[in-house]
Structures are given as C-alpha cells and as structure tokens.
C-alpha cells in the first residue's frame, strides 16, 4: 500500500478486453491506475479512461510498445519518479499471429515472442528494483491454457505463454524474500477482440471441449488477477492459476 493509501497499479494492455476488466476491479479500491496500450487509435483506451473517471478513479493511459526495452524503461522511470512506487504490475498485453509452423514467417515468430514474452521481462525488470526497495509488490502475468497444452496453429503464441510460466516461477523464487509475489493466470477461451476474429468452426471446436460449455467472460479472469493482488493471496507465489471452464485440468 502506498503512503497515500492508494495502490499504484500498472496494467499493460489495459485499454480493452481482460486488461480493461482488471482495471475495473482495481477501481473498486480507488487505486491509481496506469494503463499501457499501443494502438494509435485511442478509442478503446479513451473509453476505458472515461469509464474509470465515471467511477471516480484517477487513471491515465500511455501509448507505449511493451516489446521495446527502452520505451518501457523510460515509461516506468517516469511513473516511479512521479509516484515514488509501483504496488502492482499486471503483464497482460498480448497478440496472436496464428498459422501452422511450416508456414510461419520469422517475423510472426519474432513479433509474438517480443510482444507477449519479452514485454514481461521488460516491464518486470523495470519495476523490480523499486518493489525490492519497497519490500513488497504484486506481479501477475497473463499466460494461456495453450502454454500448457499446445495448440496447432499457435506455435509462437503457445511458446510465448509457456515462457511466461517459467519466467513467473523463477522470478517468484528470486524476490520472495522481499515480500513480492509473482504469479501467472492462464485463461482458456475468453470472449474478447482476440477471440472475436476466430471462425465459428474454430469457436465450436473449442466450445465442445469446455466442460462448463461456454466461453469465459473477461471479468472472470479479472476476478482471479485481482484476488492474486489482494491480501487474501499473500501466501500464493510462483503459481499458474488456470481459469478455463475445465478446458484443461
Ligand atoms: P485484446 O482484447 O486483444 O487486448 C489486448 C491488449 O494488449 C490491448 O489493450 C492492446 O492495446 C494491448 N497490446 C497489444 N500489443 C501491445 C503492445 N505492443 N504494447 C502495448 N500494448 C499492447 O486481448 P485479450 O483477449 O484481452 O487478451 C489479454 C491477454 O490475455 C493477452 O496476453 C492474451 O494473450 C491473454 N489471453 C487471452 C485469451 C482469450 O481467449 N481472449 C486466452 C488466453 C490468454 P492496443 O490495442 O492499444 O495495442
């Protein structure tokens, strides 16, 4: 908790989808919310900021490419110089560039690994010294069920999400003694723009494999992220929490 009583919370990819719902969860405790997104069309981030402002929350958004080590470093230095601390980092930004391995271009591989995995290194690296000095902090990264199971057509994406699992466990071990918890949440098939582009055939195939028989809602993932950042989860670290309607058990 910061000295002013409000937690300083950074959410990458907080402009829409799961990240937006995570921001709404933190709005309930009057946290100071900093959203990072990258699309030059700011419609989504503006919508989220307006919704947060209507809830009476202080929030801001920054258009920064989380895959850039330098840009992330500059952003976090600026945040730390203004607020003096960061209490929560949610590494949520992610993209897909799906195709079969034999057709995948090097650029599709590199882009997904940079945006989904290197970004987690960039942001966590940028915040970790401050959290160590604070002797506390919460880091939650959004992985995916396919990081565990694999999924044909997503070799880049599933490798990036499996990478987050290893990153989470190692970082958790390195900083546990400083009171920092580091966890991952692995959603299954969630109703956002990311899955809206899938064909009905692909969606039906997924749905048939989900015991709860439906897609997840972004709020259902956000609830678990928020719990991991709460006092109720003070003894949980190095974990990958699956939120997938039973798709993977
Ligand atoms: P989404 O609605 O497409 O949102 C993705 C977010 O990431 C947006 O806010 C986007 O902002 C941001 N982003 C993308 N590239 C970025 C970059 N280079 N720099 C900064 N921000 C960037 O996706 P979602 O479904 O909510 O996914 C959120 C996370 O959950 C992702 O990591 C995804 O892999 C993971 N996940 C999703 C599902 C699912 O079924 N939806 C399942 C498992 C895991 P801009 O648009 O402004 O760039």
* pLDDT one-digit tens code per residue, 117-136: 999 999 999 999 999 999 99
Q: State yes or no: is 38 an active-site residue.
A: no
For a mutational test of ligand 1's pocket, the pick from 10, 18, 156, i.e. the residue with the most ligand atoms closer than 8 A to its C-beta, is 18
Closest ligand 1 atom to the C-alpha of 18?
A: 26
For a mutational test of ligand 1's pocket, the pick from 39, 94, 141, i.e. the residue with the most ligand atoms closer than 8 A to its C-beta, is 94
* 66 CB within 6 A, ligand 1: yes
Closest ligand 1 atom to the C-alpha of 216?
A: 40
Q: Which two tokens stand for residue 125?
A: 């690296």
Nearest Cα residue to 92 out of 113, 127, 69, 123? 123
Helix (H, G, I), strand (E, B), or coil: what is residue 107? helix
Q: Which two tokens stand for residue 237?
A: 């670290």
What mean pLDDT, rounded, does the chain reach? 96
Cβ atoms of 142 and 123 closer than 8 Å: no
Closest ligand 1 atom to the C-alpha of 193?
A: 2
The DSSP annotation for 3-17 comes to TTSPPEEEEETTTSH
The CA 192 to ligand 1 mean position distance, Å, reads 9
* 147 CB within 6 A, ligand 1: no
pLDDT at 5: 81
Helix axis angle, 119-134 to 69-83, nearest 10°: 30
CA-to-CA distance for 64 and 49, rounded, in angstroms? Answer: 16
Cβ atoms of 195 and 144 closer than 8 Å: no
For a mutational test of ligand 1's pocket, the pick from 10, 13, 203, i.e. the residue with the most ligand atoms closer than 8 A to its C-beta, is 13
* 123 CB within 6 A, ligand 1: no
Q: What number is the average pLDDT over the span 208-216?
A: 97
pLDDT at 154: 96
Q: Check the CA dihedral 198-244-32-10 and report its sign.
A: negative
Per-residue DSSP letter, 154: B
Query: Rounded to whole angstroms, what are the CA distances from 47 to 42, 43, 173, 224?
Result: 8, 6, 38, 23
Cβ atoms of 90 and 64 closer than 8 Å: no
Closest ligand 1 atom to the C-alpha of 15?
A: 9
Q: Which two tokens stand for residue 90?
A: 């949610």
Confidence of residue 39 (pLDDT cuts 50, 70, 90): very high
CA-to-CA distance for 167 and 98, rounded, in angstroms? Answer: 23
The CA 17 to ligand 1 mean position distance, Å, reads 7
Q: Which two tokens stand for residue 70?
A: 């330098």
**Predicted confidence (pLDDT) at residue 151 exceeds the cutoff of 50:** yes
| Percentages of the chain per state (helix, strand, coil), in multiples of 5 | 50, 15, 35
Q: Where are the beta strands (DSSP E) in 64-188?
A: 88-91, 137-142, 180-187
Q: According to CATH, what is the number of the domain 8-242?
A: 3.40.50.720
* 192 CB within 6 A, ligand 1: yes
Helix axis angle, 43-54 to 17-27, nearest 10°: 20
The CA 31 to ligand 1 mean position distance, Å, reads 22
Confidence of residue 1 (pLDDT cuts 50, 70, 90): very low
Cβ atoms of 186 and 244 closer than 8 Å: yes
**Predicted confidence (pLDDT) at residue 2 exceeds the cutoff of 80:** no
Across-strand partners of 199?
Answer: none
CA-to-CA distance for 166 and 17, rounded, in angstroms? Answer: 25
Per-residue DSSP letter, 40: S
**Among residues 38, 157, 226, 235, which one is catalytic?**
157
């Amino acid at each position: 908790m910061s000295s002013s009583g409000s937690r300083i919370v950074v959410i990458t990819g907080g402009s829409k989808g799961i990240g937006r719902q995570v921001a709404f969860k933190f709005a309930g405790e009057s946290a100071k919310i900093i959203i990072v997104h990258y699309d030059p069309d700011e419609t989504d981030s503006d919508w989220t900021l307006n919704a947060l402002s209507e809830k009476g929350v202080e929030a801001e958004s920054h258009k920064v490419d989380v895959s850039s080590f330098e840009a992330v470093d500059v952003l976090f230095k600026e945040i730390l110089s203004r607020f003096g601390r960061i209490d929560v980092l949610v590494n949520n930004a992610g993209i897909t560039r799906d195709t079969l391995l034999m057709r995948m271009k090097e650029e599709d591989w590199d882009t997904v690994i940079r945006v989904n995995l290197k970004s987690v290194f960039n942001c966590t690296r940028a915040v970790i010294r401050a959290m160590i000095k604070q002797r506390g902090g919460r880091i939650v990264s959004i992985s995916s069920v396919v990081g565990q199971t694999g999924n044909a057509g997503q070799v880049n994406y599933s490798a990036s999400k499996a990478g987050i699992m290893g990153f989470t466990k190692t970082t958790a071990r390195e900083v546990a003694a400083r009171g920092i918890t580091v966890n991952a949440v692995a959603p299954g098939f969630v109703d956002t723009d990311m899955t809206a582009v899938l064909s009905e055939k692909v969606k039906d195939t997924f749905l048939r494999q989900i015991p709860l028989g439906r897609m997840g809602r972004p709020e259902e993932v956000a609830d678990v992220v928020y719990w991991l950042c709460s006092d109720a989860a003070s003894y949980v670290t190095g974990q990958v929490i699956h939120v997938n309607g039973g798709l993977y058990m």
